[in-house]
Chains A and B, each alone.
Chain A
Amino acid sequence: MIRAHRRLAAAVVLCVGTAIVLTGCSGGGSNAGGGKTLVVDNSFDLKTSDPARAFELTGSIVDHALYETALTFKGGDVTKPVPGIMSYKESSDDKTLTLTMNGKHYFSNGDPVTVDDVVFSLKRVQGIAGNPSFLLDGVTVTKKDDKTIVLTSASANPALPSILPNPSLGIVDAKALKKHGGSTTKSDSAESYLNKTSLGSGPYMLQSYNVNTKVVFAPNPHYAGPKPAYGKVVLENVAGPTQKINVQAGSSQVALDLNADQVKGLSGGKTRVIKGASPYLIYLWFNQDAAYSGGVTDKPDFLTAIRRGIDYSKILSLAGEGATQPGGLVPSQFLGSIKADATDSHDTAAAKAALARSGYAGQTVTFSYPNDITVDGIQMETFAQALQAQWKAIGINVSLSPSPIATFLDAYRGGKLQSGIMYWGPDYPDPSDYLVFNPGEDLGLRAGWKAGADPTVTAAEHKAAAALGDDRAGAYADWQRAQNASGPFVPLVQPGQYVVTSSNITSLQLNPVWTVDLAAIK
């Protein structure tokens, strides 16, 4: 019997030993960072690499590497579009945008980029009814000659040059794509092909694509711009905590999804931290529809009490280093943004006085938020709990109502929630993207704010939308002040954004449209 035991024990030891030896043989992690391979860690929200369908953060990173756009932005500056495949000229009334070919550009198969490719690509975005189709709503795309196209809008569209650099408007090889089901109508069936083979003129081309695990890029040998520093780029789907360990260990060179707490202590040594302002705006809303307001949240004085009852210094400390208090709905890096002023400061006496004027009688206000997502690494629940305590201090009873984003969205977009906290990411870097917060517009309706509900805000909206040139910044600032005075939205916080790189990365710039330009990492 003892011999049998020994044999069994030996077998067990052998198994464990084999495992240890195997692990040891792997030799201390990958050396992928060596040579010319760049590994970038990202928590994927990827759905597709087809530019006309992609509208997610990861999709933008991927498509910006694969496809050039008619216009682009230089580095992280999104205040002024610069020529990409084409240069541009706006008409004085901002209804017509003329695009002219800007030098020679080539697709990865060697074919030159033509005006026909640009026209096809833009019309395809419009025609296939995908997530980014709205970018060119009301825009007519016309080929003028072999070097020029004209984009015409029914009304002034000063944002159009800032929209065109969006990676969703990447230029594809029309001739090649048509052979694989590409079309400018809903019958387009080229997506699966584009998820295997990129047809762009960007610095990289697709080497392999797995929507759940990783995307691998190889250089486009015909790219017209400067040759990228890395011969191979791997964009990996990695969870936040693991990203930190990976970049510290040198297994990856860039970690894109770490929050303020996670980047503490990572500056210096083997890693460095790049900080910037996040393009996201975290805001509160309070329903103005009598059917959902409970007779409380639609009272102007109640909204004043809510605003003055918020202790922004504590909110910012929860959001972490780099977070700022926004003055209005437009984030700080965009034209027309404003700084927070005294009317947004914490004042419990003013809050209590406003609450008394509102006729609030202690009703419980339901405060909803999605509890399974983070914005720049911050959970909505963190803010919700802090706000509940702060409002309790001025006498407002708040009941928190968390739910998964999938179920939250249905009620939120239907305008059925009394109040809550949510975020907005820019579709394009122009203040006109934030006009959806107006009465009768998409986000306004989610707060039960119907068309005509606030003539002052609507007048400011119309003035901002019609403003041209240098007048735009001032008009959008006025519109935001009008929103702050009587609107149901409270801009709460603009988080900080952090990217951690290994110390051998000398150049990386954040951009609010495509997050990071893989080809510009050196």
Chain B
Amino acid sequence: MTSLPSSSDVELAATGTSRAGRRRHPLLRYVGIRLGISVLLLIGVTIVTFVLSNLVPADPVQAALGERAAGDPKIVAAFRAQQGLDKPVVVQYFIYLAHLLQGNLGTSTQTHNPVARDLAVAFPATAELALFVLVFSIVIGLGLGLIAALRHNRLSDQVIRVFSLVGISIPTFWLALAFFYLFFYVLGWAPGTGRLDPATTPPPTVTGMYTVDALLAGQWDTFADALAHLVLPGAVLTLYTVGLLIRFSRSGVLDVLSQDYVKAARAKGLPARAVVFRYILRGALLPILTIVGLAFGSLLSGTVLTEQVFGWGGLGQYAYKSATTLDLPAVMGVGVVVGIVYIAINFAIDVVYGFIDPRVRVQ
């Protein structure tokens, strides 16, 4: 996450002389380096996804064609030519890369759609769910983690730790089925599968996130419907993410609590709220930020089983179907998107590190 310190940077940061005007600001340089690394990582992602996809010991032609068609050499040859599988692997990679630069991720052998078009539908569905989960998870997880740390070893701490353990331990697939059965079938509180009721027409596509698009179109009923459908899968994923965040925020806050500057703040008689938010939380933010980033990346990469239970039609379901049917263009497309998601989130976290902690950017 950090680069090696440059002696000139250290000098500039330390002296703040006029030479700073001729050199880039440390933060800008820091951002520039992170950006460069991100681009290199992205190229690496394309190579890794392509190589791994082609190392699978199976023929995608057999997976894509039906029983009879797979036995017809003419149809097999036509399919290979159409998918570019009749060319050497290295040539296939450079063709793939050239197409990728133009935004062309190939055509899915399963959906027969351009992969980019499939992803443009699947990714916003997952992103909508991930954002919903993240907002609740940060508020609840951070809050409970903070309470648990501040009330260390008391009853509330114990209860919150058990809650966290339960959240992390219960398999999301089981929880999804249990929630669906209980809240949809038994209690009738939640709507069924999918992102909207079957009778509801999706709002005009702007972002692909139904709640946002419904708001933009002023369709309040559709917005309420989409929001209601988010709750159950959101609650399942939130429970896991909250469990994770509680543990990290609790331990992060506990570390900070014993720091001298917190003790000094308290000794000075600062109000409790100021101590918590200005000193404790800020000090504990770096590890929390890391886990929030990873959790968000994980949610955005698709939550396969939860999406499967709730028929969400997001990236997770698409990735699962692509992998099991050996739909290589789709698998590589998902790989690239997931790679971009993680790289972008790491980049953003690195940059935020630089803002939060001056030591990071000076290094």
State whether A32 touches B197 (Cβ < 8 A): yes
State whether B193 touches A246 (Cβ < 8 A): yes
Asked whether B65 is an interface residue with its Cβ less than 8 Å from the other chain, the reply is yes
Asked whether B111 is an interface residue with its Cβ less than 8 Å from the other chain, the reply is yes
Instruction: Tell me the residues in window 225-245 of chain A with beta carbons closer than 8 Å to chain B beta carbons.
Output: 232, 234, 236-239, 241-242, 245
Flag A113-141 by CB within 8 Å of B: 1 or 0 each. 00000000000000001111110000000
Q: Which of A12-20, A157-165, A344-352, A467-475 contacts B (4 or more CB under 8 A)?
A: A12-20
Given A23-B190, A29-B190, A409-B58, are A239 and B311 also a contact pair (CB < 8 Å)?
yes
Q: How many whole Å from B63's CB to the nearest CB in chain A?
A: 5
Given A23-B189, A249-B188, are A241 and B69 also a contact pair (CB < 8 Å)?
no
A5 — nearest CB in chain B belongs to which residue?
B147
B82 — nearest CB in chain A belongs to which residue?
A186
State whether B311 touches A238 (Cβ < 8 A): yes
Q: Which of B14-22, B39-47, B85-93, B227-235 contacts A (4 or more CB under 8 A)?
A: B227-235
For B136, list chain A residues within 8 Å (CB).
15, 19
B232 — nearest CB in chain A belongs to which residue?
A23
For A458, list chain B residues within 8 Å (CB).
none
Q: How many whole Å from B200's CB to the nearest CB in chain A?
A: 8
For B191, list chain A residues within 8 Å (CB).
26, 29-30, 251
For B72, list chain A residues within 8 Å (CB).
129, 133-134
State whether B150 touches A22 (Cβ < 8 A): no
Q: How many residues of B contact A (CB 8 A)?
A: 79
For B143, list chain A residues within 8 Å (CB).
8-9, 11-12
State whether B199 touches A32 (Cβ < 8 A): yes
State whether B151 touches A5 (Cβ < 8 A): yes
Asked whether B348 is an interface residue with its Cβ less than 8 Å from the other chain, the reply is no
**Count of CB-CB pairs between chains A and B under 8 Å:** 210
A211 — nearest CB in chain B belongs to which residue?
B111
Asked whether B56 is an interface residue with its Cβ less than 8 Å from the other chain, the reply is yes
A427 — nearest CB in chain B belongs to which residue?
B68
For B63, list chain A residues within 8 Å (CB).
405-406, 409
Name the contact of A22 in the complex, choosing from B60, B67, B70, B231 (C-beta under 8 A).
B231
State whether B68 touches A239 (Cβ < 8 A): no
Instruction: Tell me the residues in window 1-58 of chain A with beta carbons closer than 8 Å to chain B beta carbons.
Output: 1-5, 7-9, 11-12, 15-16, 19, 22-26, 28-32, 35, 37, 39, 47-48, 50, 53, 55
Asked whether A410 is an interface residue with its Cβ less than 8 Å from the other chain, the reply is yes
Flag B115-150 by CB within 8 Å of A: 1 or 0 each. 000100110000000000000100110011011001
State whether A4 touches B273 (Cβ < 8 A): yes
For B121, list chain A residues within 8 Å (CB).
210, 212
A39 — nearest CB in chain B belongs to which residue?
B198
State whether B231 touches A19 (Cβ < 8 A): yes
A53 to B64: give the CA distance in the assembly, Å. 12
A91 to B80: give the CA distance in the assembly, Å. 40
Asked whether A261 is an interface residue with its Cβ less than 8 Å from the other chain, the reply is no
Asked whether A454 is an interface residue with its Cβ less than 8 Å from the other chain, the reply is no
Name the contact of B111 in the complex, choosing from A5, A47, A242 (C-beta under 8 A).
A47
For A213, list chain B residues within 8 Å (CB).
194-195, 311, 313
A208 to B194: give the CA distance in the assembly, Å. 15
For A32, list chain B residues within 8 Å (CB).
197-199
For A242, list chain B residues within 8 Å (CB).
177, 180, 193, 309-311
Asked whether B57 is an interface residue with its Cβ less than 8 Å from the other chain, the reply is yes
Asked whether A178 is an interface residue with its Cβ less than 8 Å from the other chain, the reply is no
For A442, list chain B residues within 8 Å (CB).
67-68, 71
State whether B69 touches A47 (Cβ < 8 A): no
State whether B313 touches A1 (Cβ < 8 A): no
Asked whether A325 is an interface residue with its Cβ less than 8 Å from the other chain, the reply is no
Q: Contacts A26-B224, A211-B113, A242-B309 known; list 18 others, CB within 8 Å.
A: A5-B150, A8-B147, A12-B143, A15-B140, A22-B227, A26-B191, A31-B199, A48-B112, A55-B66, A130-B75, A213-B311, A213-B313, A242-B193, A242-B310, A251-B191, A372-B324, A406-B58, A427-B68
The contact sample of 11 A-B pairs, CB cut-off 8 A, is: A23-B183, A23-B190, A29-B188, A134-B72, A249-B185, A252-B192, A406-B62, A406-B63, A407-B326, A409-B62, A409-B63
B residues with a Cβ closer than 8 A to A are: 56-60, 62-63, 65-72, 74-75, 78, 110-113, 118, 121-122, 136, 139-140, 143-144, 146-147, 150-151, 177, 180-181, 183-185, 188-195, 197-199, 201-202, 224-225, 227-229, 231-232, 234-235, 238, 272-273, 275-277, 308-311, 313, 317-318, 321, 324-326
